[in-house]
Structure 1
Amino acid sequence: MGTFKIEGGHQLKGSIQPQGAKNEALQILCAVLLTPELVTINNIPDIVDVNKLISLLRKLGVKIQKIAHGSYTFQADNLDLDYLESDEFKVDGRGLRGSIMIVGPLLARFGKGYIPKPGGDKIGRRRLDTHFEGLINLGAKFRYSKEEQFYGVEADKLKGAYMLLEEASVTGTANIVMAAVLAEGKTTIYNAACEPYLQQLCKMLNRMGAKISGVGSNMLIIDGVETLGGTDHTMLPDMIEIGSWIGLAAMTKSELTITNVSWDDLGVIPNVFRKLGITVEQQGDNIHIPAHTDGYEIQSFIDGSILTISDAPWPGFTPDLLSIILVVATQARGSVLIHQKMFESRLFFVDKLIDMGAKIILCDPHRATVIGHDYKSTLKATTMTSPDIRAGVSLLIAALSAKGTSTIQNIEQIDRGYERIDERLRAIGARIERVN
C-alpha cells in the first residue's frame, strides 16, 4: 500500500495543466465497441481506473495500440465474447465501476451484454436501475444471478422507444444512448443527463454516423442506424481536477495558472469558488488564481443568511467537487453549509479534517457546516487514510496547507483519478514524497 508524505505550509507557484477527463474517458472507451473500424482517442489520462478499462477491453479482444502519451487506437473487429461469461471477467469487471458502460454497446452490436456488480468508491449507494430499465425499454431481456451478483441483458434486435428516466444518471444515459444508436427506429430519452462529457460522447457517436439530436439538453432524440464507422476523438480536460487546483491555490495562498481548461465547459464551477471569496480570473482559455495573502471571504445570500453550496445534475454543481469546497472553506472568512444530496457516505471524511483542527459540524450524512479559520489558526499535520478519490485529494490539499509533515495512506484511491499527482505537484513547488 502506497503512502504520501507531505510537508505542508509552503506556497506554490507556476502553471499546471489538467489531465484528460476521467469521467469522459470511461464513456468514450466503451463506445469503441460499437464499430469494427479503427477509433483514435487522444488526451486519455494515465490513471488506474482508465487503465483497468483499457486492460478489460484488450482481454475482450479489442486491438489496442499506444501511438503517443495519452493517444491510442482501438479496433473491435474480432471480439472474444466468451470472455464475458468467464470467471476472469467476473473478477476484472468487478474492479471498476465504469465497466457497466460496456453493456449497452455490446447489447446493441452483438445482442448480449454481461457485467458483474461493479465496485468503485465507497461513497454510498449507486443504483444500476436506470441502466437496465432503459435497456429493457429498448427490448432487452434482463437476468440477474443473486449468488454470483452477475447481470445480463440479451436481445435479438433492439427497437427504439420513448422513456422518461427516473434519475438523470450520467453513466445510465451513456449506456442507453450507446444501445439506442444501433436500435431500430426512434428513441427519445427525457430527463437525460446533459454533462459536457455526455455531450462529448454524443458528438463522437454522430461523427461515427449516429443520428442524435438535442445534444446538451435533457431530451435526446436518436434515430437508429445499422452500422457505425471509425473516428478520431480528443477528450476535454478534467473539470474535477481543475476545481481541485483552484482549491489548492486558495488554501496554500499560492499564485497558480491552470492552462487549457476549456472554459466554456466549466459551467458554474468558477462562480461557486468565487462565492467562497476566491478570485478566479479568465485569461484566454486559462484560469489564473492570484495569491490570496489576505485570505478569502465567504459570501452570504442576499437576505444575509448563511451560504449553502449543494450538488445537482448538470448544469448544477458537480458532486465530485463538494469535498474540495468543504476543505477550502475551512480557512475562509465566514461560514458555509455543504449539502451533499447524491451520496450518503461522501462527507464521512470530515473527522480527519476535525483532527487537523478544522471547525466542522457534521449535521447528518448529507450536510456539514464549516466555520472558517480565516488563517488565524492553521490546520495541523496528521496521519490519515484516503477513503475515496475526491476525499483523498481534499485531504491532500489540507495537508499541503497544514504546518508540519502529514502522512496519507491508501493513496491508490487518489491514483485512480489523478495522473502522476505527486510529480506534477512537485513541479510547482509542493513538498510531497511517495513512499511504498
Structure 2
Amino acid sequence: MESFVIEGGHRLSGTITPSGNKNAALPLLAAALLTSGRLILRNVPDIGDVQIKLALLEQLGVRVDQVAPHVYALTAAAIPAVDPDVAMARRIRTSPLLAGPLLARRGHVTLPRPGGDVIGRRRLDTHFLALRALGAAVEVTPTSYILSADGLRGADIFLDEMSVTGTEQAVLAAVLAEGHTTIGNAASEPHVQDLCRCLSQMGAQIAGIGTNLLEIEGVPSLGGADFTIGPDFMEVGSLIGLAAVTGSELRLAGARPRDHRMSRIAFGRLGVTWRDEGDDIVVPGGQELVVNHDLHGAIPKIDSAPWPGFNPDLISTALVVATQSRGTVLIHEKMFESRLFFADRLIGMGAKIVLCDPHRAVVVGPSQLYGEPEGLPSPDIRAGMALLTAALCAKGRSVIFNIGQIDRGYERIDERLAALGARIERAR
C-alpha cells in the first residue's frame, strides 16, 4: 500500500494550476449517456474517481477516447440493456447519477448502494423523490435501487434539501423529460452551474443557472458539445489553507476568484488573506495568522452551509488552519456527523482541540504541530488533504497511509507540491 513520507516545516513557493473540478467532472461524464452525439470534456482531472466513472461508462457501451491529456471524447451511440457493474459502482459516491440519464435514454436501471467517503449518513432520498416526481418507479431493496420509467414527464419539484447531487440528478433527468420542469430549493454550486452550462451547449433549455430555482423545458434529444470544466473549487480552498499554515507564497493560476468570496470571509476569520490578480489568487508568504473576534470580543464561528455558504468540504482544511491561528474559534460542521473525527490525529500532533460533539470543535491556537512518523491514516478525501497540510507545517517527519483516498480527489498532489518545494515522497 502506498504512503506519503513528508518532512514538514519548509516553505513552498511558485505557481500551481488547480486541477479540473472533480465534482463537475463526475456528473458531466454521466451526461454523456444523454446523447448519441460526441461530448468532448476538457480539463478532466486525472484522479481515481474519474477513472472509475470512465470504466463504468465503457461498461455501459460508451466509447471513451482520451484525445489529449485531461481531454476525453465520449460517444454513447447505443446503450445496451446492461446495468452498471456492482463492484465499480460501489467504489464511488456519484454512481447514482447514472440513474437519470439511463432512465431518460432507455427507461430502466438497477444500481447498487454507492461507496465514497465515510463521513456520516449521506442520504439519497432527494434523488429518488425527484425521479419519482418525474414519473419514475423506484424500488428500494437492502442492497440496490431498481428504477424504471415509461417516459419521463416534467414536474414542479421542490427538493427536500439543497442537495448538490440531488439537484444534478433532477437536472439530468428533466432535460429530456416531456414538458416543463421547475426545480425549487436547488443547489447552485459552481459545479452544478458547470453541468447546466454544458447541458445547455448540448441543446438543453435551462433557465436560472446559478440560482436556487431552475426552469427546464424538456427537449426530444441532445447533441454533442465541447466543454471545458472549471477549476476545482475544493482544491483551490485546500491550497489557500496549505499556503497560509506553511507561510508560503503561492499563485493559484486560473482559480476563478469570484467563486471564493465566502471562503475569503471564513478563512479571514483565521487571519488568512490573499489578493486577486485577474483570474489568479495570490496568497502572500509569512502571514501572521490571528483569529478575528466578533463584535465585543466574542469567539467567532466558522460553519458549513449550502452554496453560497462555506463549503463543508473545506471544513477539514479550516480546522488545520485554526490550529495555527492565534486565538479561539468554533468550527461547526452542520452536515456530516463524522467529518471532524480526524481531529484526534491533529490532537496527537499537538493541536489544542476540544471535540464538543460530532459536529463541533473548539480550537485554541497556535500550536506547534509535530510529525507522526508512525503514520496517519487518511480517513477520507478532504481529511486526508487536511492531514497532508498539517504534516507539511509540522516539525519533523510524518507518514500518511491510505493515500488512495487523497488520490481520489487530488491529482498527483505529491508531484505538484514537490515542484513548489515541498519535501514529500510517495513510498510504495
TM range (shorter): over 0.9
Alpha-carbon displacement from aligned partner over 1:28-77 (angstroms, at most 9, x marks no partner) = 11001100000000000000011110111011110011111100100001
In structure 2, C-alpha distance between the alignment counterparts of 1:181 and 1:258, rounded to whole Å: 35
CA contact (8 A) 1:338 1:369 kept: yes
Q: What is the aligned counterpart of 1:307 among 290, 295, 300?
A: 300
**Structure 2 contact 83–110 (Cα < 8 Å) conserved:** no
Distance 1:419 1:384 in 2: 20
Aligned 8 A contact 1:274 1:280 in 2 = no
* Distance in structure 2 (CA, Å) of the matches to 1:145 and 1:258: 45
Q: Which residue of 2 aligns with 1:228?
A: 222
CA distance in 2, matches of 1:172, 1:4: 34
Cross-structure match for 2:47: 47
Corresponding residue of 1:324: 317
Q: 1:391 corresponds to which letter in structure 2?
A: A
- Tell me how far 1:425 sits from its aligned partner: 0.6
Q: Partners in 1 of 2:213 and 2:238 — Cα distance? A: 31
- Runs of 5+ consecutive residues of structure 1 not aligned to the other structure: none
In structure 2, what is the Cα distance between the partners aligned to 1:332 and 1:42?
Answer: 38
Native 8 Å contact 2:264 2:273 kept in 1: no
RMSD (Å) for aligned C-alpha atoms: 1.0
Residues in 1 aligned to 2:174 and 2:230: alpha-carbon distance in whole angstroms = 24
1:108 maps to which of 104, 109, 121: 104
Q: TM-score, normalised by structure 1?
A: 0.96
Deviation at 1:304, TM superposition (A): 2.0
Aligned to 2:263: 269
Amino acid at match of 2:364: I
Find the counterpart in structure 2 of residue 155 from structure 1.
Answer: 149
Q: Residues of 2 paired with 1:303 and 1:154: CA distance? A: 58
1:205 aligns with 2:195: no
Equivalences for residues 311-390 of structure 1 within 5 A: 311-373=304-366, 378-382=368-372, 383-390=375-382
CA shift, 1:265, in A, is: 2.5
Letter in 1 for 2:279: D
Identity of matched residues, %: 54
For the 8 Å contact 1:392–1:413, the answer to whether it is kept is: yes
Where do 1:17-416 residues align within 5 Å? Answer: 17-84=17-84, 89-146=85-142, 149-292=143-286, 295-373=288-366, 378-382=368-372, 383-416=375-408
**Cα offset for 1:418?**
0.4
Question: Is contact 2:126-2:166 (8 Å) kept?
Answer: yes
- Check conservation: 2:111, 2:144, Cα contact below 8 A: yes
Q: In structure 2, the residue corresponding to 1:408 is in which secondary structure? A: strand
Find runs of 4+ consecutive structure 1 residues off by over 3 angstroms. Answer: none
Alignment partners' CA distance in 1, 2:22 and 2:116: 13
Contact kept, 8 Å, 1:273 with 1:280, in 2: the verdict is: no
Q: TM-score normalized by structure 2? A: 0.98
For residue 174 of structure 1, report the CA deviation from its aligned partner: 0.4
2-structure distance, mates of 1:184, 1:228: 13
- 1:97-152, Cα deviation, whole Å (9 max, x unpaired): 11110100110111112210000001000001000010001111111232xx1102
Which whole-Å CA distance do the structure 2 matches of 1:417 and 1:67 have between them?
22
Q: State the shift of 1:255 in Å.
A: 1.2
- Answer whether contact 1:36 1:229 (CA < 8 A) is retained: yes
Tell me the amino acid that sits aligned with residue 385 of structure 2.
V
Residues 83, 109 of structure 2: 8 Å contact kept:
no
Provide structure 2 residue ranges, at least 5 long, that are not aligned to the other structure: none
Task: Give distance in 2, aligned partners of 1:433 and 1:236.
Answer: 28
- Measure, in 1, the Cα distance between the counterparts of 2:125 and 2:174: 17
8 Å Cα contact 2:91-2:115 kept in structure 1: yes
- How many correspondences in the alignment? 426
Q: Please say if 1:425 is aligned against 2:417.
A: yes
Cα separation, 1, equivalents of 2:41 and 2:82:
26
Mapped contact 1:104–1:113 kept (Cα < 8 A): no
Tell me, what secondary structure is at the counterpart of 1:287? strand
Partners of 1:318 and 1:59 lie apart in 2 by 33
Query: How much has 1:266 moved relative to structure 2?
Result: 2.6
